[in-house]
A and B are shown apart, each in its own frame.
Chain A
Amino acid sequence: MQKGNDIVLSVGNLTVNFYLESGIVSAVNHVSFDVRKGSSFGIVGESGSGKTVTALTIMGLLPIPPGKVDSGTVLFNGDEILSKTPNEMRKIRGNRITMIYQDPMTSLNPVLRVGFQIAESLMVHKGLSYSEAMSKAVELMSSTGIPDSEKRAQDYPHQFSGGMRQRIMIAMALATKPDVLIADEPTTALDVITQAQILALLKRLQSEYGMTVILITHDLGIVAELCDDVLVMYAGHAMERASSKELYSDPQNPYTRGLLESITRVDRDIKRLNSIPGSIPDLINPPKGCRFHTRCPMVFEKCMSEVPPDFELGPNRFSKCWLATPGGKTK
Chain B
Amino acid sequence: MFRPAQKMVKAVDDVTFTIEKGMTFGLVGESGCGKTTISKVILGLYKPTRGKVLFRGINVSGRPSKENTRLYHREIQAVFQDPAGSLDPRMTVGQIVREPLDINREGDEQTRDNVARKMVEAVGLTQEQFRRYPHELSGGQQQRVAIARALAIHPKLVILDEPVSALDMSVRAQILNLLKDLQSEFELTYLFVAHDLSVVRYLCDIVSVMYLGQIVEVCGTSELFENPLHPYTKALLAAVPVPDPNNRRIHEPLSGTIPSPLALPSGCRFHTRCPSRIEVCSSVEPKLIEVKPNHYVSCHLYSS
Asked if A269 and B242 sit within 8 Å, CB to CB, the answer is: no
> Which residues of chain B from 213 to 263 have a CB within 8 Å of any chain A CB?
222, 225, 235-255, 257-258
Rounded to whole Å, the gap between the CB of A44 and the closest CB of chain B is: 9
User: A264 contacts which chain B residues (CB < 8 A)?
Assistant: 172-173, 176, 196, 198-199, 201-202
B62 CB to nearest chain A CB (Å)? 34
| Complex interface residues of chain B between 161 and 186 (CB less than 8 A to chain A) | 168-174, 176-177
Q: A225 contacts which of B30, B176, B199, B242 (Cβ < 8 Å)?
A: B242
Structural contact, B170 and A46, CB atoms closer than 8 A: yes
Within 8 A of B (CB), among A3-49: 46-47
Complex: A134 Cα to B195 Cα, angstroms: 38
- Report whether A193 and B170 are in contact in the complex, using a CB–CB cutoff of 8 Å: no
Shortest distance between the CB of A263 and any CB in chain B (Å): 6
**A155 in contact (CB, < 8 A):** no
**B138: interface (CB < 8 Å):** yes
Q: Is the CB of B242 within 8 A of A267?
A: yes
Q: B195-212 interface mask toward A, CB cutoff 8 Å, 1 = contact, 0 = none? A: 111110110000000000
> Given the known A-B contacts A192-B30, A273-B177, A276-B173, are A224 and B242 also in contact in the complex, defined by CB atoms under 8 Å?
yes
Number of interface residues of B (CB under 8 A): 46
B201 touches A265 (CB 8 A): yes
Q: Separation in Å of the B275 CB from the closest CB of chain A?
A: 13
In angstroms, Cα B245 to Cα A245, docked, is: 6
Q: Is the CB of B243 within 8 A of A193?
A: no
A279 to B168, CA, bound (A): 9
- The answer to the question of B24 belonging to the interface, with a C-beta cut-off of 8 Å to chain A, is no
- Interface centre among B140, B141, B169, B257, by most chain A C-beta atoms within 10 angstroms, is B169
Give, as a whole number of angstroms, the nearest-CB distance from A162 to chain B: 9
A218 touches which one: B169, B236, B243, B250 (CB < 8 A)? B169
**Could you tell me the distance between the alpha carbons of A47 and B254 in the complex, rounded to whole angstroms?**
31
Chain B residue nearest to A187 (CB atoms) is B241
Q: Is B31 an interface residue (CB 8 A)?
A: yes
Query: Which B residues lie within 8 Å of A219 (CB)?
Result: 241
Query: Quick one: which of B197, B244, B247 has the most chain A CB within 10 A?
Result: B244
Does any Cβ of B come within 8 Å of A266's Cβ?
yes
Within 8 A of B (CB), among A255-288: 258-260, 262-267, 269-270, 272-277, 279-280
Please state if B173 and A193 are interface contacts (CB–CB under 8 Å).
Answer: no
Q: How far is the CA of A265 from the CA of B241 in the complex (A)?
A: 9
Question: Out of B195, B244, B250, B254, which one reaches A199, CB within 8 Å?
Answer: B250
* Min distance, Cβ A125 to any Cβ of chain B, angstroms: 31
Contact A248 B239 (CB under 8 A): no
> Closest residue of chain A to B140, judged by CB?
A279
- Number of residue pairs A-B, CB distance < 8 angstroms: 144
Chain A's nearest CB lies how many Å from the CB of B53? 27
Are A267 and B170 CB-contacts (below 8 A) given A193-B235, A221-B242, A272-B177? no
Scan A233-253; emit 1 where CB is below 8 A from any B CB, else 0.
000000000001100110000
- The smallest C-beta distance from A150 to any residue of chain B, in angstroms, reads 20
CB-CB < 8 A to B225: which residues of A?
266, 269
Is A102's CB within 8 Å of the partner chain B?
no
Q: Which residue of A lies closest to B239 (CB)?
A: A196
CA separation between A280 and B258, bound complex, in Å?
Answer: 37
A224 touches B170 (CB 8 A): no
A197 touches which one: B31, B170, B242, B252 (CB < 8 A)? B252
With A273-B173, A273-B176, A280-B170 given, is the CB distance from A225 to B236 under 8 Å? Answer: no
The minimal Cβ–Cβ distance linking A264 to chain B, given in whole angstroms, is 4
Complex Cα–Cα for A225 and B242 (A) = 7
Given the complex, which residues of B lie within 8 Å of A199, measured CB to CB?
241, 250
State whether B257 touches A161 (Cβ < 8 A).
yes
State whether B239 touches A193 (Cβ < 8 A): yes
Report yes or no: B251 in contact with A224, Cβ–Cβ below 8 A.
Answer: no
Contact B201 A191 (CB under 8 A): no
By beta carbon, the residue of chain A nearest B252 is A200
| Residues of A with C-beta under 8 A to B241 | 195-196, 199, 219, 221-222, 224-226
Q: For B222, give its contact among A196, A218, A258, A269 (CB under 8 Å).
A: A269
Q: Which of chain B's residues has its CB closest to A192's CB?
A: B239
A276 & B170 in contact (Cβ 8 Å cutoff): yes
A203 interfacial contact with B, CB 8 Å: yes
Q: Which 10 A-B pairs have the closest CB atoms?
A: A221-B241, A275-B173, A196-B239, A262-B173, A264-B198, A273-B173, A191-B30, A244-B245, A46-B168, A220-B243
A-B contact pairs, 18 of them (CB 8 A): A191-B30, A191-B195, A191-B258, A192-B197, A218-B169, A220-B169, A222-B241, A224-B243, A225-B249, A244-B245, A263-B173, A263-B243, A264-B198, A273-B173, A279-B138, A279-B141, A279-B168, A279-B171
| Given pairs A225-B241, A258-B170, A279-B141, 12 additional interface contacts (CB within 8 A) | A194-B257, A196-B250, A196-B252, A196-B253, A218-B169, A225-B245, A245-B246, A259-B169, A260-B243, A263-B172, A270-B202, A277-B174
